[in-house]
Amino acid sequence: MSVKDNERYLAFSRRAALLSFGTLGAFGTIAARLYYLQVSKSREYSLKAEENRIDPRVIVPLRGRILDRFGVELASNQQDYRVILVPENAEDVEMVLESLAHIIPLNDELRQSILKKAQSQRDFVPIKVAGHLTWEEFSRVNVRGPELAGIEPVVGETRHYPYREDLSHVLGYVTRPDADDQAEDPHPLLRQEEFRIGGDGIERLTDKSLRGKPGYRHVEVNALGRVVGEIRRVDGQAGDDVVLTIDVALQKFAAERMRGESGSAVLMDIYSGDVLALVSEPGFDPQGFNRGWTPEQWKELLDNPLKPLINKSIAGQYPPGSTIKPMIALAALEQGVVRPSEAVFCSGKRPLGSHVFHCWKRHGHGWMDLKGAVKHSCDIYFYEIANRLGIDQMEEYLKRFGLGERYEFDLPGEKPGLVPSRGWKKATTGVSWQKGETLITGIGQGYLLATPLQLAVMTARFANGGFKVKPRLLRSVGSEFVERPKRDVINFNAKNLAIAQDAMNAVSNEVGGTAFRSRVDVNGMKMAGKTGTAQVRRITKAERLTGVLKNEELPWKFRDHALFVAFAPVKEPRYALAVVIEHGGSGSKKAAPIAKDIMEETLKRDPLRRSAVSPLAQITDLEGQG
């Protein structure tokens, strides 16, 4: 090596050494940085890493079932066949939807919204394409699966109402929670796509019990939010089963018997208050709320003059008409204002001041005693009785029979009806009570209003001879019987009660009674009933002169309401029934035959003689036994 080379070598060595120190320094710096991140800051970053990857997901619990008194499923959960689209698996979303549209119904609007969604969100996020498919449609999607890349058939759970509209007003429905529900209960459960909240009826009333406890899945998600695994699972708890007092066989029978009419039928146990059937016709398909109505369907429901969305059995308020006559008669006997044998002459008219009150029978009934007046539903007799009782006492008795009162019944939306009084009239109209108003109250007209449920309760209290029975719909929730407060006793005089009940018996079971044509005889068990025809329009003087128009001659909405109340068997009664047919014409022609059929069926089945399910027993599907 030359001298010059040696110089170069030395210079190189010095510089290389410097560079090496620099290198060591750089490595040291990186090592120090690693120490800082991995030791000093380790805890902080570990937490952040956990936050990154763990995402709690709510598991929607299975909703509790609703069963009838014998354990028959009224609302249950059913497998729901759905189709979802995972855009990342589809080669061409538009093409796939096009071919899918040949297999299952898929309108253009829906296709557009799916396409929009597919473009706007991460392409592994599934999009619901269709739900509630029939088995046939679902199978077709399965069979054609290989051609439909990205389309996945899935099976979920959805609410199922096997009796559809027959029970719609009792059960209510389930629906997606709206913003108000979510504000009221901020639990993330309410934000789940699958979750449904009780919207009305028993579904709403017992929603918290039916709902169950949500479970949680702590899932591992990647940076894009895709679920890659499950870390921890806390299983939820299915909702409690709810058992009703309803006997669905009778409910279905009554609903079908009333189909086509607008009205209500309430059948109850006169001692326990168990409601065995609570029909409001027409009903609606509760699935509509679960799946969502189309705007056309919704408009049709709202515009329907028969008002299918209103539960008429608790929210329909009607003048009770002549159905209260046996009760007024009993009140008169109790107050001693009339003797059973005392006769009142009915000429068809009763003048009061300048006004004339009419009997429904234009030329009058002649001499009427109490039994005859009830049997023939003579208005003149009851004007007289009402006049003797006075409004104050009538108010007291009508209230004892349960009119004008809310029962804290097990359904939302219960209306109180109305029993007028002097105080009420002065307060609401500012005008004093008029004598004529007392008279028309005595025949169940005027201000008096009652719901079909109240009419059933009134009849039950009349039939049970003194118990202030209250109606109930819930038998048990989960493993607990629904406790009821003790009933008050009305205490009617047994002799008076027998006379009044006998008068009501005559209506149905004696020749000439207004409901004789609708009498019932099931193995000797008979029904006592009372017709009622509630006027919904005012009959003018001019019309009276030319002859009152017959119901058939009037437009539907001006026709009279047809009512009927009944209890059975006449000896040792157990069932009370009220039937109201809106604008049905007359009680004896329209309501009585329906009541007859329902009561006949009731007496044949005699559900109160059979033991209902105990809430402690595990209730499995007993369908068919009912």
CA distances from 448 to 93, 211, 433, 538 (A): 64, 40, 14, 15
Tell me the window of 17-25, 87-95, 273-281, 347-355 that interacts with another protein (CB under 8 A): 17-25
CA dihedral 477, 478, 479, 480 (to 10 degrees): -30
Distance of closest approach, residue 13 Cβ to another protein, in angstroms: 7
User: Does the footprint of another protein cover residue 21 (CB under 8 A)?
Assistant: no
Binding to another protein, residues 223-252 (CB under 8 A): 223-224, 228
Does position 88 interact with another protein (CB under 8 A)? The reply is no
Report which of 205, 75, 72 is spatially closest to residue 472, judged by C-alpha positions.
205
Q: Which one, 34 or 489, has the nearer CB to another protein?
A: 34
| Closer Cβ to another protein, 27 or 345, answer by number | 27
Enumerate the H helices of 265-322 as residue ranges.
287-291, 295-303, 312-315
35-54 residues in contact with another protein (CB under 8 A) are: 35, 37-39, 41-42, 44-46, 48-50, 52-53
The whole-angstrom separation of Cα 445 and Cα 382 is 12
- The answer to whether 464 touches 490, Cβ cutoff 8 Å, is no
Residue with tokens 């500012």: 430
Shortest reach from residue 91's CB to another protein, in Å: 22
Q: How far is the CB of 291 from another protein (least distance, A)?
A: 37
Taking contact as CB under 8 A, which single stretch among the options 21-29, 274-282, 342-350, 470-478 is the one that binds another protein?
Answer: 21-29
Size of the site for another protein (CB under 8 A): 42
Answer for which of 9, 345, 367, 558 binds another protein (CB under 8 A) is 9
Q: Which of 104, 154, 222, 515 binds another protein (CB under 8 A)?
A: 222
State yes or no: cis peptide before 569, omega within 30 of 0.
Answer: yes
Does the annotation count 322 as an active-site position? yes
User: Shortest distance, CB of residue 185 to another protein, whole angstroms?
Assistant: 32
C-alpha to C-alpha distance for 115 and 127, rounded to whole angstroms: 10
- Closest CB to another protein among residues 15, 399: 15
> Rounded distance, CA 279 to CA 301, Å?
18
- Rounded to a whole number of angstroms, the distance between the first and last alpha carbons of the chain is 114
Residue 184, Cβ neighbours under 10 Å: how many?
Answer: 10
How far apart are CB 1 and another protein at their closest, in Å? 7
- Asked if 7 is part of the footprint of another protein (rule: CB under 8 A), the reply reads yes
The nearest distance, CB 40 to another protein, in angstroms, is 9
Return the number of the residue (44 or 92) whose C-beta is nearest another protein: 44
Rounded Cα–Cα distance for residues 608 and 84 (Å) = 48
What proportions of the chain, in percent to the nearest 5, are helix, strand and coil?
Answer: 45, 20, 35
As a whole number of angstroms, the longest Cα–Cα distance in the chain is: 156
Nearer to another protein, 49 or 549 (CB): 49
CB of 16 to another protein, least distance (A): 6
Cis amide leading into 282 (omega within 30): yes
* Minimal distance, residue 88 CB to another protein, in Å: 14
In whole angstroms, give the CA distance from residue 475 to residue 493: 32
d(CA 309, CA 259): 15
Options 280, 322, 377, 508, the catalytic residue? 322
Q: Which is nearer to another protein, 23 or 79 (CB)?
A: 23
| Out of 115, 149, 221, 310, the residue judged to bind another protein by CB under 8 A | 221
Considering beta carbons, is residue 43 or 102 the nearer one to another protein?
43
* CB distance 349 to 359 below 8 Å: yes
Pattern 179-218, another protein, x by CB under 8 A: ----------------------------------------
* CB closer to another protein, 30 vs 539: 30
323 neighbors 563 (Cβ within 8 angstroms): yes
Tokens standing for residue 333? 């006997």
Q: Which of 561, 556, 565, 557 is nearest to 592 (CA)?
A: 565
The residues assigned a catalytic role are 322
Which residues of the shown chain bind another protein in the complex (CB under 8 A)?
1, 4-5, 7-9, 11-13, 15-16, 19-20, 23-24, 26-27, 29-31, 33-35, 37-39, 41-42, 44-46, 48-50, 52-53, 220-224, 228
